[in-house]
Amino acid sequence: MPISVKIMPDTASTTGPLVAVLAYDGLCTFEFGVAYEVFGLPRPEMGPGWYGYVACAIEAGPLHAAGGLTVVVDAGLDRLAGADLIVAPGWRGIDAPVPPDLVAALRQAHASGARILSLCSGIAVLAAAGFLDGRRATTHWRYAEAIRARYPAIDLDPARLYVDEGDVLTAAGSAAGIDLCLHVVRRDFGPDAANSVARRLVVPPHREGGQAQFIERPMPRERAGTRLGPLIDWLRANLAAPHSIETIAARSGMSARTLQRRFEEATGLPPGEWLVAERVGLAREQLERNGGATVADIALACGFGTVETMRHHFRRRVGVSPAAYRARFAA
C-alpha cells in the first residue's frame, strides 16, 4: 500500500521571516526535511519572531517523493509572493527542465526582495532562473561538470560547502544544506540561535574543510580515527601552541611524510591548512562570544600570534575582517 504524506505546516501567521519551500513531483525528501527541520519546526523558545513556514507545490498533486512517499501540499506558487526566503531542495534531475511558471514566480519574488536558496542539485532551479549568472555558487561535486557545461556564466566553486551571495545562496551536497540553513539562522538571529538549532540537530554549528573531505577516495586500510583521533583531539585542545609538521609528526610517532599523507586522507586537508581552519573556527567563536577580549588577545589565544596573521587567514576563509565579523555576529 502506498504511503501518503500530507504536508500541512503553514506558520505564515508568525511575525518572523516567511520561509517558502518548494515541493514537486520527484521531491528530494532529505533536503526538503532539512529545510523543514531548521525553518519549519515549532521552536517556542525562540519567541514569536521566529520563522514562518509554508510548503509550496509547483504543480498539481499528488506528488511522488523519494522513499516511496506520495505527498499532498495545500499551498501553490502563489504563496511565494511575500516570502522572505525561498528554498529549492535538490531538483528531480540536474538536467530536468524547470517549469517556466516556476521561473516566473521565483523572479517576481526575488524582485520583491526574497532571498533564494538552493540545496544540492537545487542549483539547477536557480541557474535556470538566471540568478547565478556572473556570481559565485556551489553544488554537489558530482554535478559540477554538468552545471559548468550548461551554465558557463556561473562562477562555480564545488570546493565550498556553501556560498552566500547575499540574496542568492547555494549549498553543496545534501548534508551541506544543514550548514547553509544554520548559516542563514546565524545571519538572521545571531550565533546563539544558530547554536541552539545545531544542538537540537546534534550537529556542529560550523564545519570547515569544504567538499574535498567528502569526495570519493579509497580509505586507508588502517582507519585514520584509530591513530589520528587522539592527535586531532590534542591539537584542538592546544591550538594556541606553535605547531609544525615535524613536531606533529614526532607526537604521532610517524615520519613527516606519512603524517602528511594520513592526515589528509583523514580530514581532506594538509595539517597546516587544517590547523588554520580550526584556528579560524575558534576565532569565530571567540569573536561572537568573548566581547571583553581584544582582537589581539583572540589572535594569541587561537595560535595566530599576531593580529595581521589572523586577519589574513580570517579574510581568506570567512571573507570579512575579524572586526567586521564581530560587529555582525557578536552576541
- Which value, to the nearest 10 degrees, does the dihedral of the CA atoms of residues 85, 90, 92, 94 take? 110
Mean pLDDT, to the nearest integer, of 316-330? 81
Specify the range with the lowest mean pLDDT, choosing from 46-50, 141-145, 317-321: 317-321
Mean pLDDT of the chain: 85
Q: Which has more confidence, 70 or 112?
A: 112
CA 323-316-307 angle, 5° bins: 45
Distance separating the N- and C-terminal Cα atoms of the chain: 51
Question: If we measure between CA atoms, which residue out of 146, 4, 129 comes closest to residue 65?
Answer: 4
DSSP 3-state of 303: coil
Phi, psi of 146 (to 5 degrees): -65, -40
What pLDDT does residue 182 have?
A: 92
Report whether pLDDT(1) > 50: no
In angstroms, the CA 90 to CA 252 distance is: 41
C-beta of residue 32 within 8 angstroms of C-beta of residue 26: no
The neighbouring-strand residues paired with 85 are 19, 115
State yes or no: cis peptide before 220, omega within 30 of 0: no
Task: Give the β-pairing of 162-164 and 168-171.
Answer: antiparallel
pLDDT band, very low/low/confident/very high, at 327 (cuts 50, 70, 90): confident
* Predicted local confidence at residue 285, as pLDDT: 87
pLDDT classification of 83: cutoffs 50, 70, 90: very high
pLDDT in tens, 51-65: 999 999 998 878 888
Closest CA to 80 of 109, 57, 115, 100: 109
Q: How far is CA 8 from the centre of its chain?
A: 26
Does residue 226 register a pLDDT over 50?
no
Among residues of the chain, what percentage have pLDDT more than 90? 52
Write down how long the chain is.
331
> Is the pLDDT confidence value at 123 over 90?
yes
- Which pairs from 269-274 meet CB under 8 Å and 24+ separation? 269/209, 269/212, 269/213, 271/243, 271/245, 272/245, 274/209
For position 235, what pLDDT does the model report?
93
Closest Cα to residue 187, out of 156, 165, 217?
A: 165
Least confident of 1-15, 77-91, 231-245, 277-291: 1-15
Q: Which residue has the higher pLDDT, 225 or 227?
A: 227
- The number of beta carbons lying within 10 Å of the beta carbon of residue 277 is 19
pTM as predicted: 0.64
pLDDT one-digit tens code per residue, 235-285: 999 999 999 999 999 998 899 999 999 898 888 789 999 999 999 989 988
Domains annotated for the chain, with CATH where assigned, are: 3-201 (3.40.50.880), 218-331 (1.10.10.60)
Mean pLDDT to the nearest integer, 133-153? 92
Residue 172 near residue 183, CB atoms below 8 Å: no
Name the helix (H) or strand (E) containing 29. helix 29-35
- Average the pLDDT over each of 82-91, 181-190, 215-224, 234-243 and give the range with the smallest value: 215-224
Q: Facing residues of 90 across strands?
A: none
In which element (H, E) is residue 67 found? none
The answer on pLDDT for 11 being more than 70 is: no
What stretch of H or E contains 226? helix 224-237
**Does the pLDDT value for residue 175 go beyond 70?**
yes
